[in-house]
Amino acid sequence: MRPVATFEVKAALPPSLAALEEVAYNLRWSWDHESLALFRRLDPELWEASGHNPVLLLGRLDQRRLEALAGDEALLAHLERVKRDLDSYMSGNGTWYRKVFGPAERPLVAYFSMEFGLTECLPNYSGGLGMLAGDHLKSASELGIPLVGVGLLYQKGYFRQYLSPEGWQQERYPVNDFSTMPLRPFLDGEGHPVRISVPMGPRSVLVQLWRVEVGRVTLLLLDTNLPENPPDLRDITDELYGGDMETRIRQEVVLGVGGMRALDRLGLRAQVYHMNEGHSAFVSVERIRRLMAEEGLSRREAWEIVHATTVFTTHTSVPAGIDVFPPEMVEHYLGPLLDEIGGDRQALLDLGRLHPGSSGEPLNMAVTAIRFAGFVNAVSELHGRVSRALWRDVWPGVPEAELPIVHITNGVHPGTWISDEMHRLYDRYLGPRWAEEPGDTRVWQQVQEIPGEELWRSHERRRERLVAFARKRMLSQLRSRGAGPAALARAEEVLDPEALTIGFARRFATYKRATLLLRDLDRLGRILNDPRRPVQVIFAGKAHPRDDAGKSLIRDIIHCAERPELRRRIVFLEDYDAVIARYLVQGCDVWLNTPRRPREACGTSGMKAVFNGVLNLSVLDGWWAEGYNPRVGWAIGTGEEYADADYQDRLEAGALYEILEQEVVPLFYTRGSDGVPRGWTAMMKTAMQELCPVFNTNRMVHDYLTRAYVPAQIRRAVLARDDYRGARALAAWRKTVRAAWPGVTILNVETELPADLRVGATFTVRCWINSGALQPEDLAVQVILGPLDEHHQLVAAEKIAMAFAERRADGALLFIAQVPCSASGRQGFTVRVEPFHELLAHPHGTGLIRWAR
């Protein structure tokens, strides 16, 4: 039946409980343990049934229960304490950013992401990318950075997982009821929802704007599911990563173009724009259009401003993980914007092509983001190397090691992921600064003061809680599959609350090799079923709905878990989400990660485990390649990379079994007279001391601020000063350089090498260059010096600037350098020339380079 009217009913809170609503609508409660305890106290069973959703909880509480709570003096005191703490927090007077930079009148950063994982009751995420984005906002709030998040609000979000009786993953897509979630629509001065119009090819789509308060940070979410839109445009924000290529480009137009227009409509236009992956790259196109219309800049001049103030973070290790769109599809959907920008349309589209000038080449969203961004970063040191190899063709001729892709290693937000017990331990022995300044290594030295027995008893309680949770989940899973009484009875006995517990939970992409541990079931069975030293494994994770290979891995685990000798020792928990993740990273003893190196960009689940004293056992990939040393965990292999995948799997599975048998299990079960494994707890404390201050998002966001955001802000000020004089000059210079560059050649390189060179000696290199229309000051000429590899190729180790010396009558320019001999052995050198301008963000910023032949 179609209603004639719709309306929304909210909880009628007694006046003494009115502050509950304000606390519920600010997601600071999701990492504030006092706030969580308050909501749990209202009704523990309903809190769990609501999916840890305080807005839904308040709406479902019986009015008589509310009236009773309104007279509960202890509860009211708890509420007053939480509300006072929230008010103090929101004032932001003592934040790190305010102390260093002072108050901000507008956002410094607009952070765009396709997904945000903030809490399980706001299912706007699918995995690690979203969780990282959510933790980024939380740490920006903690540091007081004036940042606004921008994303899409999905009617269904990512899928919910359940398994068929045969163990095959099935998907369902429950519809979200926004009225019962901790978000609200933006309202205008008359109380009406704020909406904007976004061009979508020859049509336009109406977008409603929603707000989520994440501590001091606002997250802006865009929603197209409005009755005024035609059905196909309503569905743009239907599912996260759902639909076909056309749906994806529509989503990315709404995110990029719509996100920028929404910020403008709300008066939240930022100074720096951070793209978390390439999904939002179209924001740069909209920014160029705006700068041209509002500031009177040319397309090239506007690009200089956009480039100077754009940050791009790539999370992908393989080309298959990047969205690419046919050029005709891009022209169709961006047509109105491209028409307004004008000029050479193909030149603008070339910014998204790996090979500019190839008119039929599709638009690659990562390449688009790279070409618009003045700061590009990978998410771990190893991923930086992988990314430079992946995108080296964007800068042809530039040595791979020098490509302008740096790394800022990911982290996690500690307060979101640690247990109540660990929170109290840290408060007791480290003091409050562990939460306020988690990147301070001096604070974490105090971890060694935690008594081993106290740490161990706390950890044992968390493992017991994990086992109880897993049993409950298993019973629920089996009932939904129609299991009989015998199977249900067995489920009540799975796992042992005192056994060594290994956790493996992540997206079931094939490269993550979820079944590596199962490669030799006989050997694994002996490890798991040792009567004196039992071991157990808990798996969780989702495969992409179209990834049948990933689904097969889940089915293989289910079949193994059904074997009589393994059914008490191996468990798979359905519908992996933030709730399961917290139980696992808080209650496991060992966190297992087995990606095929170097495919893991970073991985953050192991970091969450570390904050809870859980030890990592992992391939040296992603963050573990940086974090590992023998004092803090275990490494599978020594960082080898193989061409033969089956050979690699065989070797690394064997290494995994060996580590479990010879190191992990003995260390865990070597106990003192009090039952405490002293060696194990010592490793727990060392891991927390060395890893926690590094692998947290407060450190990560601080890195982004100091290395990317503030330099971009300063650079924009320089370019925009005096009616954009710097941007206009730099754009004109680039145009001149590109036109003149075909005529730039290295005519010859001259040197006289002494017969007997010793370390400390020098020799002179002279280089004649035909510079065409360019002046000496337009060029950076360098001697590249270094040892030779086994193929007699120069390994660039040192760069020595050459100075301009004279101009010949024919116009040729002479550059000279004195080259030191700083190392012995067989050496070589060459000369290169690049365009130079003092306003370039990076020495290779033009992508133009000439090498001596």
Q: How sure is the predictor about 432, in pLDDT bands with cuts at 50, 70 and 90?
A: confident
Asked if 150 and 110 count as a contact pair (C-beta separation under 8 A), the reply is yes
| Per-residue pLDDT tens over the stretch 178-217 | 999 999 999 999 999 999 999 999 999 999 999 999 999 9
Task: Determine the Cα–Cα distance for residues 406 and 609; give it in Å rounded to an integer.
Answer: 26
* Cα separation values, 475 from 555, 574, 712, Å: 18, 11, 53
In 3D space, the residue among 289, 284, 263 whose CA is nearest the CA of residue 107 turns out to be: 263
Question: What is the model's pLDDT at position 11?
Answer: 66
Confidence bin at 6 (pLDDT 50/70/90)? low
> Does the structure show a pLDDT above 60 at 723?
yes
The token pair that represents 739 in the structure block: 């036109």
Residue 93 pLDDT: 83
Model confidence over 731-778: pLDDT tens digits? 999 999 999 999 999 999 999 888 788 888 899 999 999 999 999 999
- Judged by DSSP in three states, 597 sits in coil
Residue 435 parent element (H or E): helix 433-436
Q: What percent of the chain has pLDDT over 70?
A: 99
Work out the average pLDDT over 771-797: 90
Residue type, 467: V
Q: What CA–CA distance (Å, rounded) separates 438 from 417?
A: 13
Report residue 299's pLDDT band, with 50, 70 and 90 as the boundaries: very high
DSSP 759-808: TT-EEEEEEEEE-TT--GGGEEEEEEEEEB-TTS-B---EEEEPEEEEE-
Bond before 820 cis per omega within 30 degrees: no
pLDDT tops 70 at residue 5: no
Task: Give the phi and the psi of residue 665 in degrees, each rounded to 5.
Answer: -60, -50
d(CA 588, CA 536): 10
Reduced to 3 states, what is the DSSP secondary structure of residue 378? strand
Read off the pLDDT band of 823 (50, 70, 90). confident
608: Cβ contacts below 8 Å, ≥ 6 apart: 412, 417, 581, 585
Q: Give the residue-averaged pLDDT of 398-408.
A: 95
Mean pLDDT of the chain: 95
User: Of 45, 50, 58, nearest to 19 (Cα)?
Assistant: 58
Amino acid at 535: V
* Token pair of 680 as six digits: 């194990």
Question: Three-state SS for 351?
Answer: helix
**796 pLDDT higher than 80:** no
pLDDT of residue 788: 87
Question: In the chain, pLDDT over 90 holds for what percent of residues?
Answer: 87
Report the distance separating Cα 464 and Cα 460, nearest Å. Answer: 6
Given CA atoms 492, 422, 424, 125 in this order, what sign does their dihedral have?
negative
Distance of CA 531 to the CA centre of its chain: 42
Does residue 122 surpass a pLDDT of 60? Answer: yes
Helix orientation angle between 245-253 and 327-341, rounded to the nearest 10 degrees: 20
How far apart CA 328 and CA 333 sit, in angstroms, is 9
State pLDDT tens for residues 533-565.
Answer: 999 999 999 999 999 999 999 999 999 999 999
Per-residue pLDDT at 7 exceeds 60: no
Query: What was the pLDDT predicted at 436?
Result: 81
CA dist 171 and 547 (Å) reads 12
* Residue 758 phi, psi (nearest 5): -120, 155
pLDDT digits (tens, 9 = 90+) for 494-519: 999 999 999 999 999 999 999 999 99
What pLDDT band is residue 600 in, cutting at 50, 70 and 90? Answer: very high
State residue 824's pLDDT score. 83
Structure-block tokens of residue 554:
């889940």
Q: How many residues does the chain have?
A: 853
Confidence of residue 713 (pLDDT cuts 50, 70, 90): very high
Six token digits for residue 44: 């523990």
The predicted model gives 13-24 an average pLDDT of 96
pLDDT tens per residue across span 674-689: 999 999 999 999 999 9
Question: What would the mean pLDDT of 593-615 be, rounded to a whole number?
Answer: 96
